[in-house]
């Protein structure tokens, strides 16, 4: 809403609904690594705003900066310059502890290799982000149970990750990413380790979440997966290459660039 | 509590490794407890023996001086030891002396019917019982009247009474001590030999028989005759022992010093010794302290080794679980959560080792006591101390691995394969 964020694409084409409130605002983000004598700019003045309820696929070849962007979006890495706000909160203002709590409260992570904790069962894994919060909301166990059922694991609550298939593990990870009702769900090659049928099921789950109004950012290098998203953001050399909006899953592009 | 449960479940993922790691601490803790128990027991036994001598007593003993003269002589009269004059001087002129009790020992055989034994026959006045704090089993001890009347009575030690009169009370019976018949008027309770010397070391019989000093002097004399492989060995000792009881503890060193200087002045050769239980006790305490320090350090080193083992394993674990650390950090874990997690795991390891170690440590003294017939004492503080140290080892050696885990870069950690 603030409008101060510079978007490279024209906002709100005619006939499109009024833009929803911004969830993640990145403004002039740079991320510089020092490799010996050389300075490498993984992100170079990146500015963009992700809004509530949007479903983005972030694409780009390796070295395009998409991993760095994801790390910054996920608040596990800090930009060397620029401003990043999540739901209005400037991330740079948070110290390490606050940032940790912030990650657990506002972000949902889904990884390529599921990243469940092997010694915890399904329910405990789903509850993981809550357990590190200073205050555990009431009835959170019921919510975890509900989420487990929702992703089709109601019968396997006390299985360990090793006892589950890849698809099932990824479902647990999705349930885990939802437990805190995060502002942003970040999925990093979420289907990369799955066969196409299972991948399809996971992507359908994302569609459902999108339909419910969740904000999803899906990093992928598979064009097929990217096509499933509502919008596609392409990166190249640490900045935006192209923005495609309104690519619905039915393929009717409304605002292709 | 949740943290502990999670720690345990992580450790159970590597059962053998966790078990081996705890072994180090286990042995450390067990050895601390066992060593302290054995050491404590040994010194308690020594102290007990010293205390039986009476902490307020100073004991003077006759000691046979080194043999001089012709070894082959068929008959010798050797005169040495404490004298009646020594006794008079002590009991009359020394300040701070409550009582002094002379003891004359005679090498007589004691018979009742067919039964014969060779206990120490101690000729001493009635004061002996009070000064050495002996309890009566039955009857009475020697009295002033016995002493005055040169009564032909005796008091038996419990062992002697049981030996000579296995089925009956000894009271009122007559026993033959040497050449004379004496009436048994009392039996003293059993106790390890105290303040006595054995005239004939080859004598196998133990126990004691008490005879009034005056009776002893009159009937048995101060000459002790012993047959020794064909030759006759005659010794003349006026008093075998003088037990000097001080009025107060603080008088003991003064009296001891006075006795030493008096005896040194009066005796040409050193045919006596001065035993001060209080000094022995102090020395025993000192020995025990050194003993405990040495044992404690040895056990401490084994705990240290155990701790290093734990640290080693935890460092490996942290590296191995880098990715897990990354996930936890991404999902909202603060540094302190990671520190706590690994510290708890280390403490569970060392604590488990500690608990089992306490068990083993208590078992070892129990076995030693039965197998080696050694007295052991487990001080209540020892298991608590040992367990506390094991937990402390967990904290100390767990801090660095935990710190390393907490300070990993989440991005790097997540990328770790």
Give yes or no for B5 touching A (CB within 8 A).
no
Contact of B414 with chain A, judged by CB distance below 8 Å, is answered with yes
* β-bridge partners, B49: none
> Under an 8 A CB cutoff, do A76 and B410 touch?
yes
How many CA atoms lie less than 13 Å away from B6 in the CB half-sphere? 18
Interface test with A, best of B330, B333, B337, B348 (most A CBs within 10 A): B330
Contacts of A177 in chain B (CB under 8 A): none
Which CATH number is correct for A22-249, 3.40.920.10, 3.40.50.300, 3.50.50.60, 3.40.50.11720?
Answer: 3.40.50.300
Q: Do B334 and A101 touch (CB under 8 A)?
A: yes
Is residue A96 less than 8 Å (CB to CB) from chain B?
yes
3-state class (DSSP) for residue A56: strand
Q: Do A77 and B411 touch (CB under 8 A)?
A: yes
* CA atoms lying within 13 Å on the CB side of residue B181: 5
| Residue A120 C-alpha, separation from nearest chain B C-alpha, in angstroms | 8
Alpha helices in A74-195 (DSSP H): 96-106, 122-131, 140-150, 166-178
Q: How far is CA B162 from CA B75, B202, B208, B335, in A?
A: 37, 22, 12, 76
Q: Give per-10-residue mean pLDDT for chain A (257 aa).
A: 44 58 93 88 92 93 88 93 93 93 93 90 92 88 93 92 93 94 92 90 93 93 88 92 74 44
pLDDT at B161: 86
Ranges under pLDDT 70 in chain B: 1, 67-76, 190-206, 226-232
Give me the residue spans of the domains in chain A: 22-249
* A138 Cα to chain B: minimum distance (Å): 18
A103·B334 Cβ contact <8 A: no
Strand pairing partners for B57?
B245
Contacts B10 to A, Cβ<8 Å: 119
3-state DSSP assignment of residue A133? coil
* Ordered alpha helix ranges (H), B242-377: 251-266, 277-320, 322-330, 335-371
Torsion of CA B141, B145, B151, B153, to 10 degrees: -10
- CA gap A147, B349 in Å, rounded: 35
Residues 6+ apart with CB under 8 A from A18: A12
Establish if B327 touches chain A: CB-CB under 8 angstroms: yes
Check if B411 contacts A (Cβ < 8 Å): yes
DSSP class of residue B14?
Answer: T
Q: Do A76 and B332 touch (CB under 8 A)?
A: no
> Which residues lie below 8 Å from residue A81, measured CB to CB, with a gap of 6+?
A28, A29, A30, A32
* Nearest residue in A to B417, CA atom: A113
**Does B234 touch chain A if contact means CB atoms closer than 8 Å?**
no
Residue B85: per-residue pLDDT: 87
**Is the Cβ pair A103, B330 closer than 8 Å?**
yes
- In a mutational test of the A interface, the residue from B332, B336, B410 whose CB has the highest number of chain A CBs within 10 Å is B332
19-48 of A, contacting B, C-beta below 8 A:
none
Dist. CA B332–CA A106, nearest whole Å: 10
The verdict on A136 touching B (C-beta cutoff 8 Å) is no
At residue A13, the pLDDT reads: 47
**Chain B touched by A94 (CB under 8 Å):** no
How many beta-carbon pairs below 8 A join chains A and B? Answer: 63
Predicted pLDDT of residue B117: 84
> How many Å lie between the alpha carbon of B332 and the closest alpha carbon of chain A?
4
3-state secondary structure of B245: strand
Both tokens assigned to B167: 């089925």
Neighboring chain B residues of A74 at a CB cutoff of 8 Å: 330
Which chain A positions have a beta carbon within 8 Å of B327's beta carbon?
A: 111, 115, 117
Contact state of B332 with A103 under an 8 Å Cβ cutoff: yes
Map residue A239 onto helix, strand or coil: strand
Distance CA(A98)–CA(A103), nearest Å, equals 9
Burial per residue of B152-183, b for 16 or more beta-carbon CB atoms within 10 angstroms, e otherwise: bbbbbbbbbbbbbbeeeebbebebebbebebe
**Contact (CB, 8 A) for A66 and A219:** yes
Question: Cβ B332–A119 below 8 Å, yes or no?
Answer: no
Is B410 in contact with A120 (Cβ distance < 8 A)? no
pLDDT by residue (tens digit) across B252-308? 888 888 888 888 888 888 888 888 888 888 888 888 888 888 887 887 888 888 889
CB B136 within 8 A of CB B128: no
Taking alpha carbons only, the member of B240, B265, B277 closest to residue B83 is: B240
| Residues in chain B within 8 Å Cβ distance of A71 | 411
Please answer yes or no on whether A74 and B335 come within 8 Å at the CB atom: no
Respond yes or no on whether ipTM tops 0.90: no
Are B332 and A105 an interchain contact pair (Cβ–Cβ within 8 Å)?
A: yes
Q: How far apart are CA B417 and CA B326, in angstroms?
A: 11
The pLDDT of residue B191 is 61
Residue by residue, DSSP assigns A214-227 as --EEEE-S-HHHHH
Which of B6, B15, B331, B333 is the best mutation test for A, with the most CBs of A within 10 A?
B331
> What integer pLDDT is reported at residue A19 of this predicted model?
75
Q: Are strands B180-188 and B153-157 parallel, antiparallel or unpaired?
A: parallel
Quote the minimal CA–CA distance from B417 to chain A in Å: 10
Residues 181-200 of A with CB under 8 A from B: none
Which positions 57-86 of A are in contact with B (Cβ < 8 Å)?
71, 74, 76-77
Residue B142 vs residues B117, B151, B188, B215: alpha-carbon distances, Å: 21, 10, 11, 11
Chain A residues in contact with B345 by the CB 8 A cut-off are none
Kindly report the backbone phi and psi dihedral angles of residue B247, in degrees, each rounded to the nearest multiple of 5, phi listed first. Answer: -70, -45
The rounded distance, in Å, linking the Cα atoms of B32 and B361 is: 7
Strand pairing report for B120-123 and B208-211:
parallel
- The residue to which tokens 């009066």 are assigned: B266
């Amino acid at each position: 809403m603030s409008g101060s964020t510079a978007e490279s694409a024209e906002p709100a084409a005619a006939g499109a609904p009024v833009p929803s409130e911004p969830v993640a605002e990145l403004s002039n983000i740079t991320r510089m690594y020092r490799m010996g004598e050389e300075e490498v700019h993984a992100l170079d003045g990146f500015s963009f705003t992700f809004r509530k309820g949007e479903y983005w696929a972030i694409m780009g070849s390796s070295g395009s900066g998409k991993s760095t962007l994801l790390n910054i979006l996920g608040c596990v890495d800090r930009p060397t310059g620029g401003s990043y706000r999540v739901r209005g909160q400037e991330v740079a203002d948070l110290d390490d502890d606050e940032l940790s709590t912030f990650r657990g409260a506002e972000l949902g992570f889904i990884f390529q290799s599921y990243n469940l904790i092997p010694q915890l069962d399904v329910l405990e894994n789903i509850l993981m982000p809550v357990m590190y919060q200073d205050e555990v909301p009431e009835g959170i166990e019921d919510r975890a149970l509900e989420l487990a059922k929702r992703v089709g694991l109601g019968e396997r609550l006390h299985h360990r990750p090793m006892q589950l298939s890849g698809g099932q593990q990824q479902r647990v990870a999705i349930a885990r990413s939802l437990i805190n009702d995060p502002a942003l769900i970040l999925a990093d090659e979420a289907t990369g380790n799955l066969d196409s049928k299972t991948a399809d099921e996971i992507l359908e789950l994302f569609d459902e979440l999108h339909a419910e109004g969740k904000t999803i950012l899906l990093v992928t290098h598979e064009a097929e997966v990217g096509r499933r998203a509502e919008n596609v953001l392409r990166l190249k050399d640490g900045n935006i290459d192209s923005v495609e909006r309104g690519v619905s899953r039915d393929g009717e592009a409304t605002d292709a660039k | 509590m949740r943290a502990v449960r999670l720690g345990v479940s992580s450790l159970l993922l590597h059962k053998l490794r966790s078990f081996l790691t705890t072994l180090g601490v286990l042995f450390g803790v067990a050895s601390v407890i066992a060593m302290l128990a054995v050491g404590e027991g040994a010194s308690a036994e020594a102290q007990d023996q010293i205390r039986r001598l009476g902490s307020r007593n100073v004991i003077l003993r006759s000691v046979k001086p080194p043999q001089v003269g012709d070894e082959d002589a068929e008959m010798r009269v050797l005169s040495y030891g404490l004298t009646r004059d020594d006794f008079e001087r002590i009991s009359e002129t020394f300040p701070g002396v409550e009582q002094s009790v002379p003891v004359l020992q005679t090498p007589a055989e004691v018979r009742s019917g067919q039964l014969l034994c060779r206990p120490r026959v101690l000729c001493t006045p009635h004061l002996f019982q009070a000064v050495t704090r002996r309890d009566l089993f039955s009857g009475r001890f020697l009295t002033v009247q016995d002493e005055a009347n040169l009564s032909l009575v005796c008091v038996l030690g419990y062992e002697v009474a049981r030996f000579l009169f296995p089925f009956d009370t000894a009271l009122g019976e007559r026993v033959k001590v040497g050449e004379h018949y004496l009436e048994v008027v009392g039996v003293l309770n059993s106790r390890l030999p105290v303040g006595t010397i054995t005239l004939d070391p080859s004598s196998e019989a133990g126990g004691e028989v008490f005879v009034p000093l005056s009776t002893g002097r009159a009937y048995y004399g101060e000459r002790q005759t012993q047959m020794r492989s064909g030759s006759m060995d005659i010794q003349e000792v006026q008093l075998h022992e003088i037990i000097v009881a001080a009025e107060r503890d603080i008088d003991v060193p003064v009296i001891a010093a006075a006795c030493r200087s008096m005896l040194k002045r009066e005796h040409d050769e050193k045919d006596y010794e001065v035993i001060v239980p209080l000094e022995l006790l102090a020395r025993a305490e000192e020995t025990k302290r050194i003993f405990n320090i040495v044992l404690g350090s040895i056990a401490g080193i084994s705990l240290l080794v155990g701790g290093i083992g734990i640290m080693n394993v935890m460092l490996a674990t942290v590296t191995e679980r880098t990715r897990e650390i990354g996930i936890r950090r991404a999902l909202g874990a603060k540094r302190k959560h990671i520190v706590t997690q690994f510290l708890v795991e280390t403490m569970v390891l060392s604590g488990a080792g500690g608990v089992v170690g306490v068990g083993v440590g208590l078992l070892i003294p129990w076995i030693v006591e039965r197998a080696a017939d050694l007295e052991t004492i487990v001080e209540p503080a020892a298991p608590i101390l040992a367990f506390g140290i094991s937990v402390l080892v967990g904290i100390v050696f767990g801090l660095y691995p935990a710190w390393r885990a907490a300070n990993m870069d989440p991005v790097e950690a997540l990328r770790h394969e």
